[in-house]
Amino acid sequence: MTVQLGRVAVIGLGLIGCSWVKALREAGAVQSVAGFDRNLDSMQQAQHVGIIDDYSEQLAEVAADADFIIVSVPIKAVREVLAQLQPVVKASAILTDVGSVKGSVADDVAATFGPQFDRFVLGHPIAGSERSGVEAADASLYQRHKVIITPQPHTDAQALQTVIAAWQLAGADIEQMEVRHHDEVLAATSHLPHLLAYNLVDTLASRDENQEIFNYAAGGFRDFTRIAASSPIMWRDIFSANREQILAVLDMFQHDLSQLRQSIERDDQTQVMGVLTRAKVARDHFSKMLARRAYVEPMKTATITYVATPGQALSGQFRVPGDKSISHRSIMLGSLAKGVTEVSGFLEGEDSLATLQAFRDMGVVIEGPHRGRVTVHGVGMHGLQPPPGPLYLGNSGTSMRLLAGLMAGQKFSVEMTGDESLSKRPMGRVADPLALMGASVDTADGGRPPMRIRGGAELRGIHYDLPMASAQVKSCLLLAGLYAEGETSVTEPAPTRDHTERMLKGFGYEVQVEGSTATVTGGGELTACDIDVPADISSAAFFMVAASIMPGSDITLEHVGINPTRIGVINILKAMGGHIEVLNEREVGGEPVADIRIRSAQLKGIHIPEDQVPLAIDEFPALFVAAACAEGETILTGAEELRVKESDRIQAMVDGLVTLGVDAKGTDDGAVIQGMGADGQFGGGDIVTYHDHRIAMSFAVASLRGSAPIRILDCANVATSFPNFVELANGCGMSVAVVEEEA
């Protein structure tokens, strides 16, 4: 970038102006710099250290021949400075400032130069330091810091571009805003916090016992009040110059503070907890909060590649994270229940956290998760509140489909969005039957997200024959049925996971299950209960396959959920000759669990029974790897649903296996895989995962039997279901290195 500013004048030789000039000098963007300050010492020193070339005690002399004038004086001194500049500046000169309030400077410029003066560009660098003055000047002060420019309709375009370029030379990131908006945002994010900090210190310091307070006021007091050591003159000026916006945000704060006071007075711990948990989450995402949007938004994740190399025989006894399906449902039903639901074993993966955040966005107080413990303060069936923005559900199809059912019964409207993968997944399968119930649901083209659900619909119960075996669709309709007039019944073509039915019963809601039909009657209530989430059999499946295919392996997976609608992977591996023992069977909170011991075995190819497909629907990526290591051919049919998961899992797995040298073919509803047999090894290569967590983990498992490293691309989404996968994998004998790059 080549910018030549010519002769620069800097009025006010403080940290902010001097740092900018220093950076401009280093970039070679100035011919010479003249300086002015009320303080002669500052001018002499600035000249001595080479920030300015010359100075004068007459402001007019400094400004008269300048091409680029930086006004960096306290806000309340701006008008006086402008009045002195106005008669002398060249017509071609560009003027700019660095003040924290833009409205008052805009007024000052209009009052001195006239309302249409177009050569003054208003700017505000969001940077500073507790140090001040010429000696603190630092050319890198603005590197990667924001500078807000607030152009006005009449601002000259070339002057604007020059000022922007001059800030960019200092390494700043430029944002443009309207003057008024800038002052509103800064009132909330900077001016109010300073005001409170000064006020708190003053309140405490003026008490008789102040010595005590300061002796013991370590952490909290120190953190909260650090900014009260800033320059009083500067802040007096800011509070005055931006008083309208500061008063508005102060009123809001006073209102909320007095509500919090009342909650404490009444000892209403739920309300207090609500403020604290919301604030904590918002603090973690505070930049989002400024825009008053939903608290969780798409995150810019790093690109994560796994480099998986051949491992050793697996050994050990461990527990994989909590069941994803049950974790989602615990938050949903806990939120709508009366009373407090305590959840343990909750999956702290991004998918279930997306559900948790959605309910926080709708006003539910949820403590945790902390080591798998979550406390949900239920608001009752009709206690949800409109969220502040669209509900962002990340990668999670379960969140969106189940929530669609619940949202259809609310008084308020909601929009639900997701990441790139979720945005491609079919939602018509829930939108269509919900419409039959009287809901008003819009999707984007092709029945894809975002989904918009209009509030206030009167739902009526229907009977629905599911066109596909989908627990998500079944659950969506049963949840909508809680809000519908009369009975809602769903018949499924094959058994699918029944966690919704079981958990509803656990919350005291009657569900009739007869054969393949589940029925609920609307208008009931949920009563809070405790939920112990078992380990997820879908996560356990990776280790079941890993131990099966790696000779000499012997591992035990603890406390795994073995709900009969989920154990397809055990049945299929056993049918292939796997050594799997289900030990210590017991029931926790309405769900059967067991410890599962797996020893290596030479698997053989089979035609997978179609009735097992819905019972192992998420486990096929791992089972494809098992099939590739088996003796003989494995045939999968009746599994077309795999094509609409987080990726087209048939295509993704077949392509990956072929890359590694396996003879595999996809079919419309499944695949045919020729096993490599006892001595077979996978080759090396790059695997495209399509950002699908289960594809990534499956190929990490395959590497156990690799002859060369396998590079598995785009693995960040493993965190959606199995955040500690790599740790557990490496702990039991696999060898997976994580390579992380900024996206």
601-633 b/e (C-beta count within 10 Å ≥ 16 → b): bbbbbbebeeebbbbbbbbbbbbbbbbbbbeee
How far is 77 from 84, CA to CA, in rounded Å?
11
Q: Nearest distance from residue 569's CB to ligand S3P, in Å?
A: 13
641 binds ligand S3P per the rule CB under 6 A: yes
- Taking CB atoms, the residue at the shortest distance from ligand S3P is 325
Residue of 330, 319, 721, 317 whose CA lies nearest to 532: 330
Q: Assess whether 498 carries a catalytic annotation.
A: no
How far is 460 from 451, CA to CA, in rounded Å?
20
398 binds ligand S3P per the rule CB under 6 A: yes
638's tokens: 């009746």
Q: Nearest distance from residue 470's CB to ligand S3P, in Å?
A: 4
615 binds ligand S3P per the rule CB under 6 A: no
- Quick one: DSSP state of residue 302? P
Among 327, 344, 395, 470, binds ligand S3P (CB under 6 A): 470
Which lies closer to ligand S3P via its Cβ, residue 186 or residue 427? Answer: 427
Site for ligand S3P in 270-289 (CB under 6 A): none
Q: Nearest distance from residue 697's CB to ligand S3P, in Å?
A: 14
Among 22, 25, 102, 497, binds ligand S3P (CB under 6 A): 497
Which lies closer to ligand S3P via its Cβ, residue 325 or residue 521? Answer: 325
Among 96, 472, 521, 703, binds ligand S3P (CB under 6 A): 472
What's the one-letter identity of residue 606? Answer: I
391 binds ligand S3P per the rule CB under 6 A: no
335 binds ligand S3P per the rule CB under 6 A: no
Burial class of 285 by CB neighbour count within 10 A (0 to 12, 13 to 18, 19+)? middle
Q: Nearest distance from residue 723's CB to ligand S3P, in Å?
A: 16
| β-pair partners for 581 | 597
| β-pair partners for 631 | 604
Q: Nearest distance from residue 613's CB to ligand S3P, in Å?
A: 10
Rounded to 5, what percent of the chain is helix, strand, coil?
A: 45, 20, 35
Stretch in the footprint of ligand S3P (CB under 6 A) among 198-206, 292-300, 306-314, 470-478: 470-478
Angle 365-368-374 from CA coordinates, rounded to 5°: 85
Element (H, E) at 36: strand 32-36
698 binds ligand S3P per the rule CB under 6 A: no
Q: Nearest distance from residue 497's CB to ligand S3P, in Å?
A: 6
Stretch in the footprint of ligand S3P (CB under 6 A) among 15-23, 152-160, 466-474, 558-566: 466-474
Which lies closer to ligand S3P via its Cβ, residue 618 or residue 648? Answer: 618
- Among residues 532, 618, 692, 714, the one annotated as catalytic is 618
30's tokens: 């100035």
Q: Nearest distance from residue 721's CB to ligand S3P, in Å?
A: 8
Q: One symbol per residue from 475 to 494: x for binding ligand S3P (CB under 6 A), - otherwise; what is it?
A: x-------------------
162 binds ligand S3P per the rule CB under 6 A: no
Which lies closer to ligand S3P via its Cβ, residue 325 or residue 341? Answer: 325
Do the beta carbons of residue 543 and residue 732 sit within 8 Å? yes
Which lies closer to ligand S3P via its Cβ, residue 65 or residue 641? Answer: 641
- Quick one: DSSP state of residue 729? H
Q: What are the two backbone dihedrals, phi and then psi, of residue 616, each rounded to the nearest 5 degrees?
A: -135, 25
The 3-class SS string of 180-216 reads HHHHHHHHHHHHHHHHHHHHHHHHHHCCCCHHHHHHH
Do the beta carbons of residue 491 and residue 517 sit within 8 Å? yes
Stretch in the footprint of ligand S3P (CB under 6 A) among 264-272, 467-475, 506-514, 593-601: 467-475
Which lies closer to ligand S3P via its Cβ, residue 225 or residue 398? Answer: 398
Starting at the earlier edge strand, list the strands of the sheet with 173-176: 123-125, 146-149, 173-176
Q: Which residues bind ligand S3P (CB under 6 A)?
A: 325, 398, 470-472, 475, 497, 617-618, 641
* Active site residue ranges: 618
